[in-house]
Amino acid sequence: DETTQNFIGHAMALQTDDSYLDKPAEPTVIACQLYGRSMGRYGQDSPYLYPNYGLSNLPEGFSRLSAIYGGAVMLRTNVDEIIMDPATGKAVGVRAGDQAACAKVIIGDSSYFPPQMSTKIGKVVRSVCILRKPLKNTQGESAQVILPAKHLVNKKHDVYISELGPTLHVVPKGLYLAIASTTVESNDPVAELRQAFDLMGDIVERFDSVSDQYGPTDDGTKTGCYVVKSLDATSHFESAAVDIMRIYRAINNKELNLDEKLVEDVE
């Protein structure tokens, strides 16, 4: 039936709209297989993983690994200029204050690059909510909830809810954190999350924001500047992973293979 179809397509295959219904079935089947293989892979009763102490642990881990292989990380540093070679039109480095670093490849958010290198592609509304109880009709302290657009009122895009409990060390005991998000479709973005708020019940405090989304105007190969797409409304980061593979393919002219060893292990 339609409900089962929506669950498989949106909650398991992580399709963001219903356009997959008019396409070959193989990509959706493969996505469902990935969902199934991910269940309990690391002992969890979910296909998802989330780092303790929040997502800030991811860039921290990257910084440590980068340092092991000779990389340098500069925190709280503004990029004042992308240095371009006028003869070739390619980037040759970046300037931060009176310091400069040479680089043939520059990867970054659109805010680091000149405006003409990116274009606005939409808006996302997010609400970070503090709760005293878990989401209605869920088990455990943490959950990933996807509300398909077909089950929502006046929505063309899904609504996503990510619930985090105290065992993940992002809130004190007795509290829960829920983040609701969706693609903006109206002049009242926060109202588009009302069905997510209904699942949360009594909200202690809520923080709403609306962010513009940007994407690159080209693949970056002509300039050596590779603009990362802004995070969309999805809370499972699959679109971010796809964007990383896009940039890797553009830089290296081949697909990303995580089984391939690019550098020797450092002892």
Which pLDDT tens digit goes with each residue over 194-237? Answer: 999 999 999 999 999 999 999 999 999 999 999 999 999 999 88
Structure tokens at 125: 């509304």
- Within 100-159, residue ranges assigned H as helices are none
Kindly report whether the global pTM for this prediction surpasses the value 0.75.
Answer: yes
Other CB atoms closer than 10 Å to residue 102's CB: what's the count? 9
* 8-state DSSP, 143: E
Structure tokens at 142: 């943490």
Residue 59 banded pLDDT, cuts 50, 70, 90: confident
Cα(44)–Cα(34) distance, integer angstroms: 15
pLDDT of residue 31: 94
Cα(185)–Cα(12) distance, integer angstroms: 24
Strand pairing partners for 111?
A: none
Other CB atoms closer than 10 Å to residue 166's CB: what's the count? 15
